[in-house]
Chains A and B, each alone.
Chain A
């Protein structure tokens, strides 16, 4: 029999220095904060029970999250505002829960719903005038290949991946800000820091790699051509 559980989808921000902690370290941080806040999670059944907590999509190290998603299965009912307050009091600077909604029975997890992400990429102002042309060149290439370590034929090895098909749109929203819509799901996930490394190499300023500031604005599900934020998929209450 399934234990009684209350499912919540929670949006949170990850910014400041804490964006330099990895996904697993952040997960442990949340687990301990919940425990200190007295929020009891439901444990999975089976040989090695673990608390029921999941995230939509991991954020690359160093990237700010403006609306990240976490889902919890609670052992007791919690009022959403009270839950946010109690947990926020236990979180380190830089992590902040901002919204919480109930997930009705049958609603799919954020992890399986997410298809796209929106990123804002702040570029250094020193090459301000070059960006329109650099972007045009970057997008005109047929492929944007990167090499990465991946499981291939059962063992880890370097494989070539083309980022181009994962970019839905990339434009300058301000003179020094790139706006990137890209694939972000369990099967296809563009890492903007990897894309930017290629951008800087092609731009003739390889020394500027890593100088951009990346924010992930939100995660979305594409439905009938529209992008719908994962939080807005749930009824407001």
Chain B
């Protein structure tokens, strides 16, 4: 097999050449002659972003545990490196053995956000792999995609040979075993795709046909809705069921992660303490697709931490999950960890602010007081009931009060604009909320609080996502987004309150990708052709190219984004089964419209469907009282 050589002059001419050299501690080197199954695992963004992703470290370690498999890495080269590779006719290569990606057996993408789609195409193109699955031959790798954004696979469907739905630790071992057998017998790519259909989480877009209605959908001028998505062969399943790890204590966890040379987004060790979330925020996709909650035991967490710290030499570790507060043994874990590793600092993302967590943060910070962060999401209680965000203004104000007494002087508040049913009163509520926090601070006697205060209000635009309760909801138009943003900006007058906001067009595109169908794939292709890459980087985003592409591809935003979808509409992602019933999600949507909150899984089960999907009792473990 040929290897790629990158001349020094190229590495010297690009920004951060360490992105392209590999050779890190923790990177795995095997003899490719002895591993019949070779994988290029691609996080379709720049190296430092991809290397911060826990899922990559998990699957990289898990795949390489298998003797017959060699999994290597590839990332999206930055524009300067892309130019060099194209000029010198060098194909994209893996970081471990510098093997051209096109010579691998599999190219596996992890999809973490919609705005990485043009990078997926660019990686295929730089590798010299035909972009469309239908144009590939037996000489090309099989192209896989997985990750949370694969929950609506349709926008990328024509470019991907198969999607893997759910958690990768489960079925890949068997899939690779079958591939090894298949390859030894000299089988072709199409036969292989047929052989893995019974595994469960595999979606092969080519095995399904999509038909459309004869007339435009209500609310759209020319785009008809989907009539059906049906298998075109008898063995293609009617539902593709996600894979889930049943017991995190016995699941693989990377205790020898790759340690990047470059400073990454999260430059520390990562310990996943549980998966899933008990809350049912109606805008949230992760909360539904990662169901059910599965805790890793405190003992297992500590055991893994011991190994990770010994193997990496990191002096900081992050305990991650979707909502740290819900870990039943958080207090004990923190105490025991601190006793055993007094010099290793811990970071806890997504922590709710109360007396307990403030005490924790005080310990963690050891004198340094970083800002407090609250994801309030909406400005009024009415709207927070609509989105089922179980966080009240009183809780936030009392949390802030405690924190101000403790000397904290920076507060960050996150909100979404454009949530379903939002009125200008709700938008104004965001400003009033910030002012009440300011009042809380002002009312504390001067000697008991910090001298100054900085409140930062950040708004992003709400984007409806597949498998969230709001998957039927209309997305606010770009113009209306901007109206609300402008209005809010006018309500914030204090110099102690700063306002940050997002780009509305990127949110429009994100919404289009998030709920788009196969007809949107040509838009991604056209935008890529026009030079779009790294669309999630505001300095790389090419707005005019995207607008032209939408025009040329005749993509109707009124159809994809702005209309409310009828209750009985066939969604592009209806084939995919994450265990949560569409009927339950619909009920949640209707309750949202009536402003009725739904209790979390801890309070009582509302029958989302997970109970029947997973093994009995896996859904939820009772949380011990925090002391």
Contact = CB atoms under 8 A, between A and B. Distances in A.
A and B from one assembly?
yes
B314 A94 contact: no
B24 A36 contact: no
B23 A18 contact: yes
A29 interface: yes
A22 interface: yes
Contacts of B24: 92
Nearest to B20: A20
Contact of B25 (A16, A62, A92, A211): A92
Given A21-B18, A25-B262, A32-B259, A213 B8 contact: yes
Given A35-B315, A36-B310, 20 more contacts: A17-B21, A17-B22, A21-B18, A21-B261, A24-B263, A25-B262, A25-B263, A28-B263, A29-B261, A32-B25, A32-B313, A33-B25, A34-B313, A36-B313, A62-B8, A90-B313, A92-B23, A193-B12, A210-B9, A210-B12
A93 interface: yes
A172 B279 CA distance: 72
Nearest to B310: A36
Interface string B7-37: 0110111000110011111000000000000
A16 B23 CA distance: 10
A24 B261 CA distance: 9
A31 B268 CA distance: 13
Contacts of A24: 263
B312 interface: yes
A149 interface: no
Given A17-B23, A25-B262, A213-B8, A32 B312 contact: yes
B311 interface: yes
A61 interface: yes
22 contacts: A20-B17, A20-B18, A21-B18, A24-B263, A25-B18, A25-B261, A26-B261, A28-B261, A29-B25, A29-B259, A31-B313, A32-B259, A35-B314, A36-B311, A36-B312, A36-B313, A62-B8, A90-B25, A90-B313, A92-B24, A93-B23, A94-B23
Interface in A142-169: none
B314 A32 contact: yes
Q: Which 8 A-B pairs have the closest CB atoms?
A: A35-B313, A32-B313, A210-B9, A20-B17, A36-B313, A25-B261, A17-B21, A21-B261
A132 B311 CA distance: 52
Interface string A189-232: 00001000000000000000011010000000000000000000
Interface string B310-326: 11111100000000000
* B11, B23, B310, B313 pick with most chain A CB within 10 angstroms: B313
A47 B13 CA distance: 39
Contacts of A35: 313-315
Interface of B: 8-9, 11-13, 17-18, 21-25, 259, 261-263, 310-315
A24 B17 CA distance: 14
B11 A20 contact: yes
Contacts of A34: 313
Nearest to B314: A32
Interface in A79-100: 90, 92-94
Contacts of A210: 8-9, 12-13
A62 B12 CA distance: 7
Contacts of B18: 20-22, 25
Nearest to B23: A17
B99 to A, nearest CB: 16
Contacts of B312: 32, 36
* A17, A20, A36 pick with most chain B CB within 10 angstroms: A20
A186 B205 CA distance: 62
Interface string A1-42: 000000000000000111011101110110111111000000
Interface string A38-82: 000000000000000000000001100000000000000000000
A25 B17 CA distance: 12
A36 B25 CA distance: 11
Nearest to B259: A32
A27 to B, nearest CB: 10
A20 B21 contact: yes
Nearest to A211: B9
Contacts of B25: 29, 32-33, 90, 92
A213 B12 CA distance: 11
A232 B24 CA distance: 32
Contacts of B8: 62, 210-211, 213
A24 B11 CA distance: 18
A61 B314 contact: no
Nearest to B25: A92
A105 to B, nearest CB: 27
Contacts of A33: 25, 313
A17 B12 CA distance: 12
A25 B310 CA distance: 20
B601 to A, nearest CB: 40
Nearest to A213: B8
Nearest to A91: B25
A20 B11 CA distance: 7
A91 B314 CA distance: 14
Nearest to B9: A210
Contacts of A213: 8
A4 B21 CA distance: 40
A92 to B, nearest CB: 5
Nearest to A24: B263
Contacts of A62: 8, 11-12, 17
B46 to A, nearest CB: 15
B26 to A, nearest CB: 9
Contacts of A32: 25, 259, 312-314
Contacts of A26: 261
